[in-house]
Amino acid sequence: MNLSKQDIILFFKLWYKLLCYVNLKLKIIKNFSEPIYPNGINQEKLNTIRNKLWENPTLISDYLKDNDSAELAENERKILASWKKHHINSRFLIMKHLKKYSVLMSYDENTPTRIYGVVGISESFYEMMPFEVLPIMIKIILLPFKEQIIYDGLIGTYNVSFGSGYRRNFNDMYKEIKAKYGIIESLPVLVFSNMRKNNIGNKNSTIPKNLEKKHKEISDILVKFCKEKLNDEFCEIMLYALSKLCCKKISPISFGKANSWACGIACAIGSINYIFDKNQSYYIPWEKFMNWFGISASTAKQKSAKVDEELKTYKLTAEFMTNRVLNKSDDF
């Protein structure tokens, strides 16, 4: 799949204007005039400028600052800003071609392994590489674009082929990552927030009547904790975890005090989202964490272990992780 004609024109308009600005600012290539889609262009020159841009993505901020006139519409400025903040520069394996997009798996020691559904610009990946035996390795830069993932128009290829052993290993890795994180279809990764909200509203997620009172008690504690110590996203994830625990066939929530379970949920969810890491802005010292809930360390660890066991949070399942962690911001 590729972009619509209207979006193709929009992409190249923004992309070429940005590259022209970078060239003028850094004085890279003399007499380089702004390309106009669909006219032909010297790809070698374009690639030279493009490489300089991604060496210093703050050039996008400079461009937006220096072009604060009506030349760029507000939606165009937002697209450009998202490129600076959420682009992914990595090596990828093209794993398969679907009708909706081509499926790429990151394969780079500097990038967490994830799977992305990537749309072509004027041509789909399948049209560009119809006869290649998958997987094939490429070097590209992914960009967000209108709730889709595209790339910056330039693809670096590697003259390598993979034997059956490598292909089998890649397929195993693909299955594991897909089961854990799914296929990411937009940047930044926001899909899990909608999934959590939809799940809580699902008829299969209705809280059993015998647990409604306990559920409310635990919810109130978690909401207060997140309001004082964390943020709304943590609150959403913890309430989602609570909902799933309550809907278990034999719910562990039936036994034990509300503040103990609230602490266990907060500890399990907090741990996989690094709230006990001193390098994080939302760091909470362990002693202060326990004191807030008013329970002992042994009880906190016991309840947290039970939450881990019931929800498999120890597997770092994406549905229980914040978007910040999923997107691996520079703070990690």
Helix (DSSP H) and strand (DSSP E) numbers for the chain: 13, 7
| Lowest mean pLDDT across 61-65, 120-124, 190-194, 312-316 | 190-194
* 12-27 mean pLDDT: 95
Residue 187: its pLDDT value, please?
84
Task: State the CB neighbour count (10 A cutoff) for residue 7.
Answer: 17
Q: Which residue has the tokens 């090596």?
A: 91
Residue 332: its pLDDT value, please?
42
Per residue in 223-274, pLDDT (tens digit) is: 999 999 998 889 889 999 999 999 998 999 999 999 999 999 999 999 999 9
Q: Which two tokens stand for residue 308?
A: 């881990």
Is CATH 2.40.50 correct for 87-184? yes
Is the pLDDT at 279 greater than 60, yes or no?
yes
Q: Is the dihedral of CA 132, 137, 140, 143 positive or negative?
A: positive
Is the pTM for the entire model greater than 0.85?
no
Shortest CA distance to 263 belongs to which of 312, 231, 298? Answer: 298
Q: Is the dihedral of CA 324, 321, 272, 223 positive or negative?
A: positive
Per residue in 142-174, pLDDT (tens digit) is: 999 998 999 999 999 998 989 999 999 999 999
Helices (H), the chain: 5-26, 43-55, 58-66, 74-86, 125-128, 164-181, 191-200, 212-229, 232-246, 258-272, 286-293, 297-311, 323-326
Shortest CA distance to 83 belongs to which of 187, 8, 190, 191? Answer: 187
Is the pLDDT at 202 greater than 60, yes or no?
no
CB under 8 A, 24+ apart: contacts of 154-162:
154/43, 154/46, 154/47, 154/50, 155/128, 161/133, 162/135
Residue 228 CA to residue 307 CA, distance in Å, equals 22
Residue 199 CA to residue 208 CA, distance in Å, equals 15
Residue 192: its pLDDT value, please?
53
Residue 189: its pLDDT value, please?
64
Q: Which residue has the tokens 């990764």?
A: 189
